[in-house]
Structure 1
């Protein structure tokens, strides 16, 4: 880092040695710059903003040199952008589209014409912002949504403040929905003001540029740094931030998290009235400063400004009354039911006031963002990543409101403009192009024994079909979490320690699951151990630990999880991993077989009791899953080998031979059986037993 670059509000990440390896490859340098900008969430959020570069290329048809623009494609993220995520277009053809443009009423038809400007027909789909880059004359362009800049862009006096900070080196364009006309306005303001180093889009964001990738990067950082420095110098100059503290900092972090965990299943159930949602919770200091302030109600009602913020957070958040939330659980639930009903009615009225003749049908009317003074922010969406990103975007909106109020008055998008963004036909088309949800999308699976061979296989199977997973166990937690996240994504999995014989340990692991994902939908009791001894050698300690882990553990986990399932009121599944030994009497197995039989019958009893709650309870009976299973790592294998008069090495073949199918059983086989019970394939099945044993006639249920 150069000594002259003393940034305090942005991250200067440019590595000259790394950039030197990319010298001569303008596209590679453009991608490098994009990734650096996307790595700092103060500059832009996930999938927010876009970047571009214009290069000379050889036309594959004419063989002549042509100017081609590489730009982030629709739905991409600059922080992870690669060539595959870019659209590339003939610059001349983009300019030729000006002759086809018929005015604001026909904006959307221009997007279809972008396809005819593609240099590589197989590249990513161009975004609506393509002309904003293509019509500008600069080689390298950055369009970002930095909190500090949007704070000024969303201020009542934003244009005057811009001149105060940057003089005449930045231009200002009032709010307008992105599209071809905005590209034309950008082109004009730059042509009319040749000394500009950037343009602020009112209520939206920032455009900057440079002759080289590094020049553009540095210009972008310097402008954002100047904005952030100006805001910092003015905090408190117009009175206390957010009007001062209304609710003094209440509970400590542990107490806040306990309150959040207790309320999340109810909130999630209400937010899932149209489709099952996953939740996210944060008590970030920036959030608490906002939700505990006097100005919370006034500013929350104004909604967000930047289109990227609004698309992910809805017209406005739902704000909870901390006094109403302090009552007994039944009263709190009644209060929340009324609050959600009122929010849905208000949203429907907003839709009716704002809709056009060709607007898409009204979408889910439930809130995305919920603010609880003293506790924090909750967000709900179709998957965990979307819920987390929505919370990040609203945190950015809080930063914007804080900055705008420090120097002027914050202005959200006018209601009609907000609707036009939310129900934009182009956004609707993007939604329609999305892949259909997987069978378990939106569901949370809680798997005890989740780091063992069978447990981890169950986790992976459920993750493949779209579930999020909480694997709880005594060991291998860090490595299991790292492995599952590497395979299925950072937001997909969580591990937590558990002692299934201890009610508080179970409660804490479920609290972690709820805080991470909003609740629980699928409970798999897979924790276990095995002891194989003759009656005379079985000790009371052997008996106790088997019944504590297998029977008491299944009971305690089910009891605690059902309380959450009932709070959500969304139904659910409990799948208990028992054993062929719960049905078949074998030698040297009195304690283990008895415990497994108890697990099996408990499943039937719970199925009979929980049916009215739409909670299905079923059992999978494995047999002799040797490879990767924890229970075969101890004395169990030796005990079973002794019982059959064979060596441990001969066990896999022995168990395979005695089955009707002659097949060895794998952990993946058990996992698939669990998945079939919970993926909707057997939605009307409860109290049932599925043997996965290769076919053992003695275990036939009769």
Structure 2
């Protein structure tokens, strides 16, 4: 069969030269194919779908050739799939499980039996979809969730539409939860319909295959391309897309971001009633087309269809009334509280009428997806990646609804089926196996001076302990963001420019934090500079810049950040990086020491004021952090060396010798002190000072 190589609706990414390098290694080609399919979100969503190949291996026990299936393991993502993420199983043993299968009521017990079919007992855990691949006779199989195909699969007339497009070359299986029985149905369908190129699973997705990895890849692309082209031809033909526009788009991108940032901390606070959540915001054109449409209330109420979509977006979204959302903020907050409570009650009622005797306890009743006509979509989850992926999945669901409504009538997953997926005991077991959250999971840290030695070390320690971090500074932003994201994940770190003496600059950097993560929990005022001069040489400009950056900067950042923390209603932390010089009077240091003392006392004053809001304010006093610190790159080191009568090179040893412990203080030491204040270890401590100076007796606060 001649292969199509030109596509409009999918990406053809196969590189002949790359494939030639992998020739002869079927597993390597299978992984290559999988990664290409996973690279195009029009073909499948993150961690959605699975791929497989069957090869001949040598049985380590008998030494005889055996057929072994390599398939994506449980929880993996085909876009980044490696051998380590695959399960490999004896095909013959998978077929032998038919003798053990006791029917639909006993589906879940089959999953444990997959482990007895493993070729390599140390491979990844097999997923529930394993028999869907293993019982089919094809060497290479792709099971994907393309929006275009699910649009047909979730249509009232989906089976007829399938025949209109592909004739007898595709088959249809009505909706059924994945499991061994569905694998048996696939096997029977293929057996009774020779010459098929694929099967559509109603409401679910697509199965396609080929004799080689390349054949399977091309077959998959062609089927999805044909489905997408069919939908494209029908958009707006039967009726306007989503029933036409109800809410005119009057806000531009900047205005949408401002509106979103103004309300997102409130949304986050309400969404965090069960556990602290992180947020994601998007005003993607596809989202705006949907939320501004006449069909929004009807389609949103129907919920999603594909199980992968549903598991990450809940039974249905919370849809906001734009008229109510354009009131003054206090009225908006009251309206949102009412809407969240109504959603929780609705979710609880759904749980109560759908639960079984052995169902897990009701989970978080708050919405994951929140739709605001004219502004966009918000999603909230336990971490940033999950929140972002939830937004991607609901965008997939929007695409599905758009396509289904263009050619037929969209049908969501029946409520009981949706519940049985959401509260599937196998899914519950998977949740229970997840590692315990880190101490700062779900928290957002905002660090000024975040690209310098101490600031960057603070960012890294907070990231290591599960926080998302916004590092603000004047320079080194791109390189710091690249480095932090490479080490701690692309979703968890952001850098933003800031001038701490400018309220406007601070507000914009905090707005970026809110739009990226939903709000702010931990504020670390670390921005600073130092000037060491005797009184006679200290200029008014020296005095002004030190007090502007250190004192005014700490005041303005805290003032703006606390407004967000109060809006969230989740409490929070402010940690101010002052200095031993705020407690100890040293020579040639009048402007710097005075500013540091002001920082220190401001912390006490704010602790007294913010306690009722459960916002803790504490101070870390470093001393002589030389390595990596920005302040030692200028004239400060020379000034301090002159004051103490030593050379610049001898300063580290000088500072270490004068301490009680005789130790050099490092940036990481300051970062660990910040961590102690914010990770729950000192949750009932506020207004305190923690010296990290190696032990300087004159700086003892008591």
Range into which the TM-score falls when normalised by the shorter chain: over 0.9
- The alpha carbon displacement at 1:41 in A equals 0.3
Where 1:469 maps in the other structure, the secondary structure is strand
Q: Distance in 2 between matches of 1:395 and 1:33?
A: 25
Q: Distance in 2 between matches of 1:472 and 1:444?
A: 13
Which position in structure 1 is the counterpart of 2:613?
Answer: 613
Q: Distance in 1 between matches of 2:694 and 2:250?
A: 58
CA contact (8 A) 2:4 2:218 kept: no
> Are residues 1:524 and 2:524 paired?
yes
Which position in structure 1 is the counterpart of 2:31?
Answer: 31
Q: Distance in 2 between matches of 1:61 and 1:432?
A: 35
Where 2:309 maps in the other structure, the secondary structure is helix
- The alpha carbon displacement at 1:3 in A equals 10
Q: How does 1:370-381 map to 2 (within 5 A)?
A: 370-381=370-381
Q: Distance in 2 between matches of 1:5 and 1:248?
A: 40
Q: Distance in 1 between matches of 2:436 and 2:130?
A: 27
Which position in structure 2 is the counterpart of 1:394?
Answer: 394
Q: Distance in 2 between matches of 1:685 and 1:65?
A: 67
Q: Distance in 1 between matches of 2:153 and 2:336?
A: 35
- The C-alpha deviation readout for 1:229-265, integer Å capped at 9, x for no partner, is 0000000111100000001111100000000000000
CA contact (8 A) 2:4 2:222 kept: no
Which position in structure 1 is the counterpart of 2:279?
Answer: 279
Which position in structure 1 is the counterpart of 2:667?
Answer: 667
Which position in structure 2 is the counterpart of 1:270?
Answer: 270
Q: Distance in 1 between matches of 2:39 and 2:569?
A: 39
Which position in structure 1 is the counterpart of 2:657?
Answer: 657
- Give the total of aligned pairs: 701
Which position in structure 1 is the counterpart of 2:600?
Answer: 600
Which position in structure 1 is the counterpart of 2:586?
Answer: 586
Q: How does 1:11-22 map to 2 (within 5 A)?
A: 11-22=11-22
Which position in structure 2 is the counterpart of 1:64?
Answer: 64
Q: Distance in 2 between matches of 1:683 and 1:61?
A: 57
- The C-alpha deviation readout for 1:342-398, integer Å capped at 9, x for no partner, is 000000000000000000000000000000000000000000000000000000000
Which position in structure 2 is the counterpart of 1:424?
Answer: 424
Which position in structure 1 is the counterpart of 2:482?
Answer: 482
Q: Distance in 2 between matches of 1:233 and 1:329?
A: 44
Which position in structure 1 is the counterpart of 2:535?
Answer: 535
CA contact (8 A) 2:3 2:218 kept: no
Q: Distance in 2 between matches of 1:448 and 1:310?
A: 39
CA contact (8 A) 2:291 2:376 kept: yes
- The C-alpha deviation readout for 1:199-229, integer Å capped at 9, x for no partner, is 0000000000000000000000000000000
- The alpha carbon displacement at 1:4 in A equals 5.1
Q: How does 1:444-593 map to 2 (within 5 A)?
A: 444-593=444-593
Q: Distance in 1 between matches of 2:396 and 2:41?
A: 9
Q: Distance in 2 between matches of 1:645 and 1:608?
A: 41
Q: Distance in 2 between matches of 1:406 and 1:31?
A: 35
Which position in structure 2 is the counterpart of 1:683?
Answer: 683
Q: Distance in 1 between matches of 2:13 and 2:697?
A: 66
Which position in structure 2 is the counterpart of 1:169?
Answer: 169
Where 1:389 maps in the other structure, the secondary structure is helix
Which position in structure 1 is the counterpart of 2:298?
Answer: 298
- The alpha carbon displacement at 1:108 in A equals 0.2
- The C-alpha deviation readout for 1:438-489, integer Å capped at 9, x for no partner, is 0000000000000000000000000000000000000000000000000000
Q: Distance in 2 between matches of 1:532 and 1:18?
A: 60
Q: Distance in 2 between matches of 1:565 and 1:273?
A: 15
Which position in structure 1 is the counterpart of 2:639?
Answer: 639
Q: Distance in 1 between matches of 2:8 and 2:620?
A: 57
- The C-alpha deviation readout for 1:541-578, integer Å capped at 9, x for no partner, is 00000000000000000000000000000000000000
Q: Distance in 1 between matches of 2:365 and 2:533?
A: 60
- The alpha carbon displacement at 1:6 in A equals 1.3
> Are residues 1:184 and 2:200 paired?
no
Q: Distance in 1 between matches of 2:337 and 2:584?
A: 49
Which position in structure 1 is the counterpart of 2:115?
Answer: 115
Where 1:323 maps in the other structure, the secondary structure is helix
Which position in structure 1 is the counterpart of 2:237?
Answer: 237
Q: TM-score, normalised by structure 1?
A: 1.00
Q: How does 1:621-632 map to 2 (within 5 A)?
A: 621-632=621-632
> Are residues 1:103 and 2:117 paired?
no
- The alpha carbon displacement at 1:162 in A equals 0.2
- The C-alpha deviation readout for 1:406-465, integer Å capped at 9, x for no partner, is 000000000000000000000001101110100000000000000000000000000000
Q: Distance in 2 between matches of 1:538 and 1:445?
A: 35
Q: Distance in 1 between matches of 2:192 and 2:642?
A: 91
> Are residues 1:6 and 2:17 paired?
no
CA contact (8 A) 2:170 2:200 kept: yes
* Distance 1:145-1:3 versus aligned 2 partners, 3 A rule: closer
Q: Distance in 1 between matches of 2:645 and 2:578?
A: 25
Where 1:167 maps in the other structure, the secondary structure is helix
Where 1:286 maps in the other structure, the secondary structure is helix
Which position in structure 1 is the counterpart of 2:82?
Answer: 82
Q: Distance in 2 between matches of 1:613 and 1:245?
A: 43
CA contact (8 A) 2:531 2:589 kept: yes
Q: How does 1:316-331 map to 2 (within 5 A)?
A: 316-331=316-331
Range moving further from structure 2, 641-650 or 576-585: 641-650
> Are residues 1:134 and 2:137 paired?
no
Which position in structure 1 is the counterpart of 2:260?
Answer: 260
Q: Distance in 2 between matches of 1:345 and 1:112?
A: 36
Q: Distance in 2 between matches of 1:57 and 1:442?
A: 45
- The alpha carbon displacement at 1:271 in A equals 0.1
CA contact (8 A) 2:72 2:87 kept: yes
Q: Distance in 1 between matches of 2:271 and 2:679?
A: 21
Q: Distance in 1 between matches of 2:434 and 2:15?
A: 37
Which position in structure 2 is the counterpart of 1:153?
Answer: 153
RMSD: 0.7
- The C-alpha deviation readout for 1:506-542, integer Å capped at 9, x for no partner, is 0000000000000000000000000000000000000
Q: Distance in 2 between matches of 1:468 and 1:453?
A: 19
Which position in structure 1 is the counterpart of 2:409?
Answer: 409
Q: Gapped runs of 5+ residues in structure 1?
A: none
Q: Distance in 2 between matches of 1:109 and 1:544?
A: 72
- The alpha carbon displacement at 1:5 in A equals 1.3
- The C-alpha deviation readout for 1:165-211, integer Å capped at 9, x for no partner, is 00100000000000000000000000000110000000000000000
